[in-house]
Chain A
């Protein structure tokens, strides 16, 4: 087991390096981050030159990548532009946990992101719980009641849900539950932000503001997963051991929940585990629409500003999360299904 984990990680490292190099090169073509510093663009070319030097943007691309990766505290850099390297570098590099400074706000990227991560996680974990509960309940029920009215209705709805762009769900739900409910004098949900600044950041406020984003994030996944649970439940319910269990006179609930569901859950675990990090992508659109201060919105904002240290950090953290979740999913699967042994 330990061997397996080590081997998988060893395999992932070159992949992460490769992807980081490709992304880094792509971001070089984003346009000049100095030119797009917002309204605080230094007017004089000399200042611009100095700024480029300070940020290390005057270096060739491969040097910039190396500095990004391993830092530059082992060498001296030329800060004043006289051709003599005199100032010792301060960057530690990503491998030692230093993601550099934002080109726009000059703050450490790590700090910028760790401020946002809890917000995104709050949204994602809640959405994931909602997704798992609803897709299990809907999936199991429509498998047990196959071809009933409920099953057919859910089948139709899940196709619609699965074909919905997330922003359409977000816009529709915002339009209906927030704006129209307000107009009709009904209790309505807030649209943007994390809390009402007049009330402050209380748990109740945050929960209220989370309802619509979580709804938007979960609909598509529920539509897909509930189909998946349904088909794997149907497959299992047709097996001999279920007939045996029923023939013994076990209660129906017990057969479905204890005997069938447990086995039907196995592929579901894999599916959910592998998809969790990809919810982050859904969060990009959802957070942008609902003005949720998370990493997804940060990503969109910073893309417009070509702030590539921040973008690289978000991308690489996501990539590591994907790798870790793939590994955890494999381990969980082998633990849950004794027929699978990890070599």
Chain B
């Protein structure tokens, strides 16, 4: 894709005014050309609306076991065993699960957990990856040697194995947490950390490679000659120039983290009930694969759609921010 010229002639004939676009506006223009990415952005906004506003619309009703009219997450966690494994109906649009909870409400609150895990795990990953990559590339020599050997060592074990071992090792050791009026299983924090700390390696390598080539440039030598501190050179001069691959890979790590959460929870080692996540809703689905397909179909579909949207957006961002990079998918 060719880069848009810095200035564009305006549409008015005879008007000599130039529109000056900053790099972010240019990137937005390129992003808009990627049709699927724009559609995916719309899709992701809809998914966000569903999980943040859906609770107001769909999560309310009589919770029979406690004889109370409940709303919000209490409704999602209300188990009415007399209503278990009911197929989708007017009352429960997505049906009910093995202990009679409303699946629609659980996909909403589970979605909040899954997406939060995706985002925060990506934040952890970016912090670790960028720090390791930048320090390794900038300081070089033995620092680089040690950090890169550790990175390679981490890459030797497939991520899913690391995830399982870490999730099992840390599982149940973090107490329940209370955030914004909600009681969450401590496993949410564990999973965020576990996913973040097992996925930073590729980003660290990308950042390191960029820092290695950037630090040879004259402006860095000039900064050094002026006595600018190492930390300032790294954070003010090097990292802003490698922001494009960081943004792209951070976006893709959100979808990767959502998938990882789903895998670990699917194997029963992830987010623990009653806190719902899209992954742990699928936990017992294999047993009911035929008798209750709605158990796995709705959360599975939501995972697929969310990951698909984020991947398309990541692809669009790659085209927009980093036009020279090759596309793998």
Q: Is the beta-carbon distance between B304 and A165 smaller than 8 angstroms?
A: yes
**In the complex, are the beta carbons of A175 and B164 less than 8 A apart?**
no
Instruction: Give Cα A295–Cα B189 distance, bound, in whole angstroms.
Output: 29
Query: In the assembled complex, which residues on chain A have CB atoms less than 8 Å from the CB atom of B268?
Result: 304
Residues in chain A near residue B228, CB distance under 8 A:
none
Q: Give the residue of B158, B173, B300 whose beta carbon is less than 8 angstroms from that of A168.
A: B300
On chain A, the residues within 8 Å of B307 by CB distance are 163-165
Query: Which residue from B150, B290, B311 sits with its C-beta under 8 Å from A159?
Result: B311
Q: Please tell me if the beta carbons of B157 and A19 are within 8 angstroms of each other in the complex.
A: yes
Q: Mark A20-41, 1 if CB is under 8 A from B, else 0.
A: 0001001101100000000000
Quick one: given A168-B300, A277-B158, are A288 and B169 in contact (CB under 8 Å)?
no
Cβ B168 vs Cβ A228 within 8 A: no
Contact mask for chain A residues 130-174; partner B; CB cutoff 8 A; 1 contact, 0 none: 000000000000000000000000000011101111111001101
Considering only residues 26-64 of chain B, those with a C-beta below 8 Å from chain A are 36
B residues near A285, Cβ cutoff 8 Å: 160, 263, 266-267
Chain A residues with CB below 8 A from B159, complex form: 281
Q: Residue on A with the closest CB to B285?
A: A171
Stretch in A42-50, A56-64, A239-247, A316-324 touching the partner: A316-324
Report yes or no: B328 in contact with A171, Cβ–Cβ below 8 A. Answer: no
B174 within 8 A of A: no
Q: Which single residue of chain B is at the shortest CB-CB distance from A28?
A: B169
A165/B158 in contact, CB under 8 A: no
Q: Is the CB of A18 within 8 A of B153?
A: yes
Q: B324 at interface (Cβ–Cβ under 8 A)?
A: no
CB contacts under 8 Å to A, within B157-188, are 157-161, 164-166, 168-170, 173
Q: Once bound together, how far apart are the Cα atoms of A304 and B164, in whole Å?
A: 10
Report which of B173, B290, B300 forms a contact with A165, defined as CB distance below 8 A. Answer: B300
A65 to B192, CA, bound (A): 29
Shortest Cβ distance from A316 into chain B, in angstroms? 9
| Cross-chain contact B312 with A171 (CB below 8 angstroms) | no
Alpha-carbon separation in the docked complex, A166 to B308 (Å): 14
In the complex, B99 has a CB within 8 A of chain A:
no
Q: Which of A29, A167, A282, A322 gathers the greatest number of chain B CB atoms within 10 Å?
A: A167
**B296 contacts A171, CB within 8 Å?**
yes
Q: Which residues of A contact B161 (CB under 8 A)?
A: 280-281, 284, 299, 314-315, 318
Min CB–CB distance B61 → chain A (angstroms): 28
A163 and B311 in contact (CB under 8 A), knowing A228-B329, A231-B328? Answer: yes
Which of B160, B255, B289 is close to A174, meaning CB atoms less than 8 Å apart?
Answer: B289
Complex contact B164–A284 (CB within 8 A)? yes
Decide: A323 near B156, CB < 8 A? Known: A167-B266, A171-B289, A315-B161: yes
- Would you give the shortest CB distance from B287 to chain A, in whole angstroms? 11
**Overall SS of chain B's interface:** helix
Most buried by B among A158, A168, A174, A319: A168
Shortest distance in angstroms between B307's beta carbon and chain A's nearest beta carbon? 4
A168 to B268, CA, bound (A): 16
* CB-based contact A162/B303 at 8 Å: no
Q: Is the CB of A163 within 8 A of B156?
A: no
Q: Which residues of the partner chain B approach A318 to less than 8 Å between Cβ atoms?
A: 157-158, 161
Is B286 within 8 A of A289, CB to CB?
yes
Q: Chain B, 69-86, contact with A by CB distance < 8 Å: what is the 0/1 string?
A: 000000000000000000
Whether the pair B158, A224 counts as a contact (CB closer than 8 A) is no
Given contact pairs A29-B169, A289-B286, A227 touches B156 in the complex (Cβ within 8 A)? no
Taking a contact as CB atoms under 8 Å apart, the answer to whether B290 and A179 are in contact is yes
Contact A167 B158 (CB under 8 A): no
Asked if A168 contacts B304 (CB within 8 A), the reply is: yes
Q: Are A163 and B289 in contact (CB under 8 A)?
A: no
Complex partner residue of B168 from A30, A163, A277, A323, CB under 8 angstroms: A30
In the complex with contacts A285-B263, A299-B164, A158-B329 CB distance below 8 A: yes
Q: Which of A171, A277, A284, A319 gathers the greatest number of chain B CB atoms within 10 Å?
A: A171
B16 to chain A, nearest CB (A): 38
Contacts of A319 in B (CB 8 A): 156-157
Q: For the complex, what is the distance from the CA of A18 to the CA of B259, rounded to whole Å?
A: 28
Closest chain-A Cβ to B87's Cβ sits at a distance in Å of 15
Closest to B290 in A: A179
Question: Roughly how many angstroms separate A322 CA and B329 CA in the complex, as a whole number?
Answer: 24
| Cβ-closest 9 pairs across A and B | A281-B158, A281-B160, A163-B308, A163-B307, A15-B153, A179-B290, A227-B329, A168-B300, A26-B169
Contact sample, A vs B, 11 pairs, CB 8 Å cutoff = A158-B329, A159-B312, A167-B266, A168-B304, A175-B289, A224-B329, A227-B329, A235-B326, A289-B286, A318-B157, A318-B158
Which residues from chain A sit less than 8 Å from chain B, CB to CB? 11, 14-16, 18-19, 23, 26-27, 29-30, 158-160, 162-168, 171-172, 174-175, 179, 223-224, 227-228, 231, 235, 277-278, 280-282, 284-285, 288-289, 299-300, 303-304, 306, 311, 314-315, 318-319, 322-323
Given A165-B304, A171-B300, 14 new contacts (CB under 8 A): A11-B149, A18-B153, A23-B165, A29-B169, A162-B311, A162-B329, A165-B303, A168-B304, A228-B328, A228-B329, A300-B267, A304-B268, A311-B165, A319-B157
